[in-house]
Amino acid sequence: MDKIKIWLKEIRAPFLTASLVPVILGTAIAWNQFHAFNLLYFFLALIGVCLCHIGTNVANDYFDHTSGDDEANKTPTPFSGGSRMIQNKLLPPKHLLIGAIISFILCAIIGLYLNSVTGGKVILIIGVIGVFLGFFYTASPIRIGYRGWALGETAVGLGFGPLAVFGSYYVQTQRLDWIPALASIPVGILIALVLYINEFPDYDADKSVNKRTLPVILGKKRAAILYYIMSAVTFLWVIAGVILNIFPVWSLLSILTLPIAVKAITILHKHYSEVYPLIPANAMTIVLHLSFGILFSIGFFVSRA
């Protein structure tokens, strides 16, 4: 039982909402456009995305250990600094590497099945890109998250935004369409912001091992301004989509989450240079992503054409 609890902490089970949101959104758009819904495909897509997410989390802990990044982090929080399973001697590093590989293999099996029943190579291509981004986010020799140029943040936004949303839409409809791609942008931005604000407490450790995250490149003060801008873009994107008749009017339900964004911005503005006082903003960004994504999806569900 203790091992189960340890692995649940390692895979960071509560944060799998990052996988839930894009799958629900892609499915909601499929329902909105074609009244299409296959329960088996929905659950397989959800499990597949979750397995890729788990593989990414576990691989990230392993490779941030090998780089010395997590060991250099003296102020870990529930949202940053890794799971600490290696650092607290609860799991040996090789078990994490094996766990990550198993997760990606199981994800690939599900992806290959969905690709076979949906036709074409769309799910195969999405799956290959997703696994590549997840594993090499921190794995040598590519280490996307270490390279700078916002590559790490973009990879997370792409994986849990356009790739997951469009893949979930495609398994239901077997169609190519711009609507799910455009609708995926705000949830992609928000999940990237979840990673982004969690990089603030990791600033010193990341800098010490030359992990060039945006806060390291920009400095915390300017990085905070970028968070404000991207938060605003998220809401403006939905409003513009409704005005242009791309998104249904009911998708404006997502705007109800604006107070959460404002609160997170307020805390970040006051405490961007601190670690523990910033924790409420880290938590609120996760809540913002989940609540925005669910309300945005509901807007598509109730506005079926």
| % of the chain residues with pLDDT over 70 | 99
State the average pLDDT over residues 202-217.
92
Name the residue with tokens 């997840």: 134
3-class DSSP state of 211: coil
CA pseudo-torsion sign 82, 87, 93, 99: negative
Written as six digits, the tokens of 42 are: 């929905």
* Average per-residue pLDDT for the chain: 94
Contact yes or no for 64/76 (Cβ under 8 A): no
Range of the domain at 177: 2-302
Number of structural domains, the chain? 1
Q: Find out whether 135 and 104 touch, Cβ atoms under 8 Å.
A: yes
The model's confidence at residue 222, banded by pLDDT at 50, 70 and 90, is very high
pLDDT tens digits for range 15-73: 898 999 999 999 999 999 999 999 999 999 999 999 999 999 999 999 999 999 888 88
Mean pLDDT computed over 85-102: 94
Which tops the pLDDT comparison, 228 or 2? 228
**Residue for token pair 């890109």:** 129
How many Å apart are CA 171 and CA 40, to the nearest integer? 10
Is the pLDDT assigned to residue 304 strictly greater than 80? no
Q: Can you tell me the distance from the alpha carbon of 99 to that of 76, in angstroms, rounded to the nearest whole number? A: 23
CATH number at residue 97: 1.10.600
The DSSP secondary structure of 127-192, one letter per residue, reads HHHHHHHHHTTT-TTT-GGGS-TTHHHHHHHHIIIIIHHHHHHHHHH----HHHHHHHHHHHHHHH
> Does residue 105 carry a pLDDT above 80?
yes
Query: Nearest Cα to 60, choosing from 99, 3, 21?
Result: 99
Mean pLDDT of 244-264: 97
| Separation of alpha carbons 254 and 257, rounded Å | 6
The number of beta carbons lying within 10 Å of the beta carbon of residue 305 is 9
Q: Using pLDDT thresholds of 50, 70 and 90, give the confidence band for residue 1.
A: low
Which phi and psi (to 5°) does residue 80 adopt? -150, 165
Work out the average pLDDT over 288-293. Answer: 97
115 contact partners, CB below 8 Å, separation of at least 6: 121, 122, 123, 124, 127
- What pLDDT is stored for residue 3 in this prediction? 85
Query: What is the tens place of the pLDDT at every residue in 140-185?
Result: 899 999 988 888 999 999 999 999 999 999 999 999 999 999 999 9
Q: Is omega for the bond preceding 280 within 30 degrees of 0, making it cis?
A: no
- Output the CA torsion sign for 40, 41, 43, 44: positive
- Residue-level pLDDT at 237: 98
